[in-house]
Amino acid sequence: MYKLIVGCPQCGNKVIWEANNQFRPFCSERCKLNDLSQWAQESYRIPLTDNDHEHHEATES
């Protein structure tokens, strides 16, 4: 039977993609939570970076 194997986005471990793997594509709950917390931090940082970029462009021109 064919099984799809993916790499865990957090730690790179091989993960079997199957319906009863509730953490897919992650290898474990810990990796899944780590990724979610990193994603949340990124989304907070993006607006600040954009504002800073616009400010620099306005100053130069």
The yes or no reply on residue 27 touching Zn ion (CB under 5 A) is: yes
| Least distance to Zn ion, CB of residue 50, Å | 31
Return the exposure string of 13-44: e unless at least 16 CB atoms fall within 10 Å of the residue's CB, then b: eebeeeeeeeebbbbeeebbeeeeeeeeeeee
Residue type for 12, please? G
Q: With binding defined as CB under 5 A, does residue 33 bind Zn ion?
A: no
Among 4-12, 17-25, 34-42, 46-54, the segment contacting Zn ion (CB under 5 A)? 4-12
Pick one of 11, 16, 33, 40: the residue that binds Zn ion (CB under 5 A). 11
